[in-house]
Chains A and B, each alone.
Chain A
Amino acid sequence: MKRAAFNHRLLPVALLVPQIAIIAIFFYWPAWTAIQSSFYLEDPFGFGSTFVGTDNYTRLFASSEYLKVAQFTILFTVIITVFALGAALLLAVKADKVLRGARTYRTLLMWVYAIAPPVAGFIGVMLFDQNIGPMTDLFNWLGHDYRLGLNYMDTAFAMTITSIWIQIPVNFIFFLSGLQSIPQSVKEAAMIDNASPTRRFWETTFPLLAPTAFFLLIINITYALFDTFGVIDTIVYGNPASNPMTLVYKVFVDGFRGNDIGGSSAQSVVLMLLVLGLTIFQFRMLERRIHYT
């Protein structure tokens, strides 16, 4: 905190009030409502609700459907994180290395960042469409009868690859800026010490990139859990029931389509705890890093 501060009583309060008020009304109130209604069972016709204790939670974890969705979410998150980070790291290392056209490559590889997930999802639907999609043609040519929206695995494939596609640019930007902030002297010293480029990468570059990689790991997990909503919604449009979906999408489906407010709120609370755990993990790791370096 700055030492030379202003001594005013009302001004700082006035400056903080708008932000705090918006957060209180649009953040704390809904979050509190979610926690509260996760312990109630709402009448489907809206005639009030009854306190049911932890029934919504036990119902949730006993539901095989919920566990199946949870399982899919974990798999989906792991695959997206691994591929989006891996591809972006490879491309960033190459873009950092080449002398010619570095700026052009950077532009070409990052601009997809600006595309909204649902628009990407819609383009995915077109590419994998039963009648007009070239990807479907490709699969058929390879001997697989591809059916988007009907076959669980086929839909999951389109969803995953579209989600990876829009996540590569942001990872690429962070990796490239991380690579370029490695001092030239370090790179040159590594050049002298170590002849093999592969060993040079794993022994010098990668450890220096580790903070960026860890930060991106968290970002990618959060992305796969929450921000893929638009992709999923456009791809499974019409029949979410038989199709793969993530935990966040299920909160939405149960809350709005199924009108199961209690169950949906319990799911919200479970996700809140998940994010809380993730954040605590992130902080612990950050602390550790500060201690050891």
Chain B
Amino acid sequence: MTDTTLSMPVQVAPRGRRIRLSVIGDHFVLILGALFMMAPIYMTLTTASHENLTIHREGLQFLFGGELLNNFDAAMFGQGGFSGEITGMSMLKNSLILGMGFALGKIVLSMMAAYAIVYFRLRFATFAFWVIFTTLLLPLEVRIVPSYEVITGLGLANTYTGLIVPLLASATGTFFFRQYFLSIPEELVEAARIDGAGPVKFFIDILVPLSRTMIAAIFIVMFVYGWNQYLWPTLITTDEGLYTLVRGIKQIRQSLAESNQIPAYGQAMALSIIAILPPVLIVVFLQNWFIKGLVESDK
């Protein structure tokens, strides 16, 4: 594996006017790209700062208005849904539980499995490896109907367990940690054995602390993945008290499609911003770890 931290390369200094123009061209392309990526979110934010009537009459807004706080307040604390039970807050809580639960579960399960596969003499190690490996072949979307039937059959619909655990049935994390453990020098485990450390002690006192950066990196990637889950939460949670923010978007889409009054556009835009803000902040501020986790986990 090469160095994946995206450092600035040393450039051979270009000379002359023609090159100057090409630098301007480079910046032009990059600015255009950045605008294309940012414009939709910018408009979501500006529109979230206007009254519903204004949006209804004039369309999405390009400039900020004065209703930003009101709309966010309504999206966050206003009661919605059929039972009037859900607020932005309750959905935020569920999203956090899903993101955290998924990331933690993934890390614990896959570290344990990878440890067993790499560090032990197992007769069926290859078999276990393939059993886990095959899961990479079938995304949840493909086996969605039978998965739903199995989970409801087990009585796990509308529970956090039913929400999180089925998503853990994949190999991504296990592979990531397997690769990483294989890259750790063998002398380390030999030295630990000579010093009398057993497998449990070696795992907890040496391997886990050694993997700290890797764990952080994979945690970020998995948190974002869990937070952004849509299809599974949509199917398995019919109880509004368990809706996540991303699941709530479907609800909003429905109310916009079916309402016969002026739809609550401002509030809907505000809720969209709330749904994207936590993962975006994590990705932006923990950028180097995130890129490390992403680039290495997918290899």
Q: Is the interface of B mostly helix, strand, loop or mixed?
A: helix
By a CB distance below 8 angstroms, the chain B residues around A134 are 43, 59-60
Taking CB atoms and an 8 Å cut-off, the chain B residues in 96-143 that contact chain A are 109-110, 112-113, 115-122, 125, 128, 131-132, 135-139, 141-143
Binds A, one of B1-9, B77-85, B210-218: B1-9
A1 touches B125 (CB 8 A): yes
> Is B228 engaged at the interface, CB distance under 8 Å to the other chain?
yes
By a CB distance below 8 angstroms, the chain B residues around A98 are 23, 26-27, 30
Binds A, one of B34-42, B64-72, B86-94: B34-42
Residue of B nearest to A237 (CB): B253
Taking CB atoms and an 8 Å cut-off, the chain A residues in 97-116 that contact chain B are 97-103, 105-116
B220 CB to closest chain A CB (Å) equals 10
A15 CB to closest chain B CB (Å) equals 4
A275 touches B112 (CB 8 A): no
Residue of A nearest to B287 (CB): A107
Residue of B nearest to A170 (CB): B294
User: Among A122, A173, A275, which residue has its beta carbon within 8 angstroms of that of B294?
Assistant: A173
Q: Which of B30, B121, B228 has the most CB of A within 10 A?
A: B30
User: Among A18, A99, A126, A276, which residue has its beta carbon within 8 angstroms of that of B8?
Assistant: A99
- For the complex, count residues of A whose C-beta is within 8 A of B: 107
By a CB distance below 8 angstroms, the chain B residues around A222 are 139
By a CB distance below 8 angstroms, the chain A residues around B136 are 279
Complex CA–CA separation, A87 to B121 (angstroms): 47
B252 CB to closest chain A CB (Å) equals 7
> Is B249 engaged at the interface, CB distance under 8 Å to the other chain?
yes
A184 touches B283 (CB 8 A): no
By a CB distance below 8 angstroms, the chain B residues around A125 are 253, 256
Residue of B nearest to A260 (CB): B145
Complex CA–CA separation, A122 to B276 (angstroms): 12
Complex CA–CA separation, A161 to B190 (angstroms): 54
A26 touches B275 (CB 8 A): no
B156 CB to closest chain A CB (Å) equals 10
A58 CB to closest chain B CB (Å) equals 20
B30 touches A12 (CB 8 A): no
- For the complex, count residues of B whose C-beta is within 8 A of A: 113
By a CB distance below 8 angstroms, the chain A residues around B112 are 15-16, 18-19
A15 touches B113 (CB 8 A): yes
By a CB distance below 8 angstroms, the chain B residues around A244 are none
B199 CB to closest chain A CB (Å) equals 4
Interface string of B288-299 (1 = CB under 8 A from A): 000100110011
By a CB distance below 8 angstroms, the chain A residues around B234 are 233
A12 touches B26 (CB 8 A): no
B200 touches A11 (CB 8 A): yes
By a CB distance below 8 angstroms, the chain B residues around A22 are 109, 165-166, 168-169
B37 touches A108 (CB 8 A): yes
> Is A209 engaged at the interface, CB distance under 8 Å to the other chain?
no
B138 touches A275 (CB 8 A): yes
Residue of A nearest to B291 (CB): A173
A109 touches B26 (CB 8 A): no
